[in-house]
Amino acid sequence: MSNGTNDVWSRIDADRDYVVNLARDLVRIPSVNPKFQVEQGLNREADVQVLLDGHLKDLGFQTRNWDVFPDRPNLIGEWDGSDDKSLILCGHIDVVPVGDTSRWARDPFGGEIAEGKLWGRGAVDMKAGVAACVAAARAVKQAGIKLEGRLAIHSVVDEEAGGFGAMDLVKREKRLARRAIVAEPTWGNIVPAEGGLTWVRVTIFGKQAHAGWRFNSMWPQPHVQGRLEPGVNAIELATRFLMALRDFEQSRCRDNWHPLTPAGLATINPGVIRGGAGLGPDGTPQIMTNAAIIPDVVTIDLDYKFMPQEQFEDVKAEFENFVSHFAQTDAWMRDHPPAIEWDLFGLNFPPMNTPVDDPLVSSLTERARHVQRKAPEIKGFEAVTDAAHYAGAGVVPVIYGPGGDGFHGDNECVEIESLIETTKVIAAAIIDNCGTR
C-alpha cells in the first residue's frame, strides 16, 4: 500500500512478541480499581503507568502524568503534528476484582500464555487494547513514517467505576484531537455508537406516624376534633411509582430506536431502593430497621440509559415530565411531589453517535476487513465506555479492539491472534487518519 501500511504490518508480524509481552507485563501488575476492592498489592495503577511511560518515552513521545485520585495517575504521550489530522488512542488500565480465585484455572495475575491466549484479569478488558495502541505506534515509528497529524496515547484510570479518569482528562486538556480510537474489546467489530447513561435518584415523601394508627390512614375516619393526623406510607407510594415507571420504561424502549443498537436499549433500571423514616444529611432514610414506623421517605436510585441520538437535556425533561404527571395522580403527592437528583455520584456518560460514513469508521472497516479476512460488523455498544466522555468533549470516537473471554468474570483471556490483528488495524488507521509527510 502506497502509504507504508504493508511495511508497518510486516514489522508487526516480524516482532509479534512485543505486543504480546507488553500486554502480559501489564496483566502481571495488579491494578484493581480501589473503589471496588482495597487490598495490599492489588491497587497498582501507578506502577502500570510507570511501565507504559517508559515504553512511550522510548518511542519519542512527550509524556505527562498527574494524579486523578491519590496514587492513581492518568498518563498522556504525544507526538506533535497538525490538529486537523489529530488522533487519540485511548485505553483504561484499571480492572475489576478477581472474585473467587478458586474458580480461576490460572493465576489471575500470572499472565500465562496457553492455547493461543493470554490469561489474566484485565487481559481483554482492556490491557491488551492499551498494548495494541502502543505497539501500533511503535511499528509506525520503526517504518520511518512521519505523521502529519498529532498522535496522542491516553492511558486513564477509573473507567470501571464511572470513567472519572477520562472525565478529568477531557476537562483538563485544552487541546484534545479531532478523532479517537478507544481500544475496548469489540471482537474485531467497529463500534461507532453507544447510548448515554446517567444515574438519577428519585425521593418519595410520605408522612411519618406510628404503625399502630395505620388504620387511621388506610380507612375512612370521621374528622372529629382531636383526630390524629394520618400518616402517609412512602414505601406504598414508591411501589405505585415503580409500577408506573415500568410502563414509562416500556414506552421509551418501544418508541426509541437506533439502527446500530439492540431494540429496547433505553432501559431504566431501579438498582437501589431504601425506605424508612427521617431523611438524613446524606439524602437517604436515617431509620430503616423499625417496622413500627409508617415510613416517610423512600429513595430509588436508577441506572438510566438513553439512545445514541438522544440529548441529555431532552431525556431529563421527558423524565421530569413523567414524574410530575405521576404526582398529579395522588392528593398527597400533588402537594409533596417527588424530588429528582440527576448525575448521582457524578456518574454521567454522554451518548456517542459517530456517523457510519466518518473517515475513521471507513478506515477501520476497510483495514479490519483486509487484516481479519472478513468484513467486520458495524454495530452499537450495549454498555458504556470512556468513548462517551470524548464524544461529550467534541471528539469523534470509535471503539475497536480485540476479542477474548471472561471479562468481568472468571478466567479472563485475550486471543493472541486477535491482539496482533488489532495492532495492525490500529496502525493502519493511524496512518490513514494522521496522514504522512
Q: Which residues contact 117 (CB under 8 A, 6 or more apart)?
A: 123, 404, 413, 414, 415, 416
- Active-site position among 53, 94, 184, 412: 94
* C-alpha to C-alpha distances, 199 to 133, 164, 234, 256, nearest whole angstrom: 31, 14, 21, 19
Contact yes or no for 344/199 (Cβ under 8 A): yes
Q: Is 335 a catalytic residue?
A: no
Helix (H) or strand (E) holding 321: helix 312-327
Contact yes or no for 232/332 (Cβ under 8 A): yes
Distance CA 79, CA 85 (A): 12
Rounded to 5 degrees, what are φ and ψ at 348?
-160, 115
Q: Is 159 a catalytic residue?
A: yes
Alpha-helix runs per DSSP H in 209-292: 214-218, 234-255
Q: Which residues contact 364 (CB under 8 A, 6 or more apart)?
A: 181, 190, 376, 398, 400, 425, 429
Rounded (5°) CA angle 306-307-309: 130
Beta bridge partners of 149: 82
Beta bridge partners of 349: 197
- Active-site position among 45, 53, 78, 159: 159
Contact yes or no for 187/405 (Cβ under 8 A): no
Residue entry with cell 452499537: 380
Beta bridge partners of 73: 67
Residues taking part in catalysis: 94, 159
